[in-house]
Structures are given as structure tokens and as C-alpha cells.
Amino acid sequence: MQVNLMARLWIAGIVGVLWAGCQRPAPPPPDLHVETLNVPTAANRSDLILLAVPLSHRDVRVFANPWRGVGEPKRQAEVETTLKVLRVIKGPPLPAEVRFRAYYGRDYFFVTGMPKGPAPIGLSAIFFLERRPNGILRSSVDGFRPEFATHWVTGPVEPEPCPSPQDCMAEILLRYRQADDAQAYADGLDSSVGICRRLIGFFRTFDLLTNMASTEQHPAPVKREACSELTKSYNEFELPPACASLIGSTHGAKDSATYNAVRREYLKKAGLAWVRERIGSDNEGDVRRYLQLMKKSPDNEIRRLATSLLAEL
């Protein structure tokens, strides 16, 4: 009797161990790379950068995910996406369609933070891809969206050569084309400006925005949003004349007064060091241009400080 009892206990123990092992999630795949997309970093790291439209998604495999709380997915899916290539921004010429793989979470208790899951079918975006030794294309990041949305691009795109990936992306983001969806373009301009400041710098972004606001043929929503972005991101400079009729000559006047008070203090205390930090450049030409524009400020003290700093260059 005791032998039978011991045997039963031993068998139950073995079954319990096996059952626990079956329930334990497998370790994550070695090529899983969960992080949010950093466009400037991805531009340097990626083997391919494409302006493309997703045509379809296909699950390659689905597996359990080590679950740590309500903000984590219970499963991970490796998904293959087929893209229609509109323009190659970085990399060699490609066929009209390519496929890439990425991992995405499934079965979230609730979804927070950055957008998750595969890119929407039929909506254009800039994709950042890496080619693995086995020839498979993978997204630069997993878990979150591996692309920067450009949903306003609805018409054909000319396959122009790219002087650099950064220049091409800035051209897509901050040059409105007549074939684009004007309202969708205007709605996405805030994000585009932030990305372009990091890709091509303070003044090149300023010049593209100024040109956009001043181009008579552009639709009113596009020009109005360009003027609005200039008041937010470049409030120390005079707006293009066209902006007065689009957003009013007093738009942001209260904020400008506040910003000018802060700016005076920075110019007094940190001088040229603050200017270089503000524009994100040590280039003397950029610093000089910034101070020349500041000499046109309606604030007398700022004009005086700018003149004094110019003499130090």
C-alpha cells in the first residue's frame, strides 16, 4: 500500500514539473528588439529606408510572452508585411513590392503610450528596415510602430535621387505637393517639424517652413499650419507677411512677450553658449544668422544684446 502511495506521489510530482514547464513561456527570440522609433538614430542604423504603402499582413508565428502586468502583452506575434514601394530613401534599387518582418504584442489588458501593432493597410509611411544575414528584412524596432506616418501622400511619387536620407525625409515631410491630402498634411505638420529639426537642423527647417507659408499656390490649411508652427517653434523671428492674413498679426503676442522675457535672461547670463544650444549648432555662420535675425526683434534689450554678441564673433 505504501509503495503504491509513493509511486503515485512520484508520478504526480513528475506530471506537475512537466505541466509547469509547459506553462512557462519560452525565452524571447534573439532578434526581438522592443523600443520606440527614434527617427534620427534609425536613419543612421537602417540598411533600407522606404516611403511605402502596406498592402497586407501575415502572421509568421504567435507565442506566449512573459507577462509582467496589465500594460504588457500576453502574446507576441511575428508579422510579415508586404509593402508597395513608392520611393527608396536609403539603399539599393528595389522591386515594386518588398516584405519585412516585425514583432508586435497581442492581448493587451489595455493599450497605452505610443501606437502599437502593424502599420495600417493602405496608408503611406516611411519605414526603417535592416537586412539580416539570412536575407530577411526586419523592422528597425519591434513592439511599437516601425514607421513614421505620412498619410497625406496619396498620389504618385517621383523616384528622385536622394543626396542623403536626412534630406529626402525632410523633403517628404516639409514640402507639400499638390497631389497630397492638404488637411492630413496640415494635421501631421507638428510631428514633422519636430523630426526635421533633428534631421536637418534649426535653420533648414525654418527655411522650409517659411517657404511653405509663403507659397501662394498652397492650400490655406497648409499655409495656416505652417504659420502656426513658425509661431510655436521660431517665435523670436518675424513671421512671413503672408501669415498676417492667415493667423492674424497678434497671434501668439502674449506668449511672445513671455518668451522674450526668458530669452533676455538667457542672452544676458549665457550669451553665445545659449545661442548655440538654442539652434543646436556650433557653426559660426548659423550663430551669426541667428543673432542677425534677433537684431530685428521688437524688444529693444534683445536687439542690444544681439548686437553685443555679434561683436564677440
| CATH classification of the domain holding 95 | 2.40.50
* 11 in any annotated domain: no
Which candidate, 311, 293, 202, places its Cα nearest to that of 302? 293
Residues 115 and 43 grouped into a single domain: yes
Residues 33 and 72 grouped into a single domain: yes
Tell which of 121, 149, 177 closes a domain.
149
* 16 in any annotated domain: no
For 84, 194, 231, 274, the CA distances from 50, given in Å and listed in that order, are: 10, 20, 31, 37
Residues 134 and 221 grouped into a single domain: no
Tell which of 149, 180, 197 closes a domain.
149
Residues 183 and 106 grouped into a single domain: no
Residues 272 and 289 grouped into a single domain: yes
For 38, 164, 205, 296, the CA distances from 283, given in Å and listed in that order, are: 25, 20, 16, 21
For residue 10, what pLDDT is reported? 46
* 10 in any annotated domain: no
* 4 in any annotated domain: no
Residues 126 and 32 grouped into a single domain: yes
* 215 in any annotated domain: yes
Residues 116 and 33 grouped into a single domain: yes
Residues 239 and 139 grouped into a single domain: no
Residues 190 and 279 grouped into a single domain: no
Per-residue pLDDT of the chain (313 residues; tens, 9 = 90+): 444 544 454 444 444 444 444 445 566 777 877 788 888 888 999 999 999 999 999 999 988 876 665 556 677 889 999 999 999 999 999 999 999 999 887 776 545 555 567 889 999 999 999 998 888 999 988 877 778 999 999 877 887 778 899 999 999 999 999 899 999 999 999 999 999 999 999 999 999 999 999 999 999 999 999 999 998 889 888 888 888 888 765 555 555 677 888 889 999 999 999 999 999 999 999 999 999 999 988 889 999 999 999 999 9
* 95 in any annotated domain: yes
**Number of domains comprising the chain:** 3
Tell which of 124, 149, 174 closes a domain.
149
Residues 100 and 202 grouped into a single domain: no
* 310 in any annotated domain: yes
Residues 295 and 232 grouped into a single domain: no
Question: What is the distance between the alpha carbons of residues 222 and 260, in angstroms, rounded to a whole number?
Answer: 27
Residues 140 and 44 grouped into a single domain: yes
* 212 in any annotated domain: yes
pTM, two decimals, is: 0.81
Range of the domain at 106: 27-149
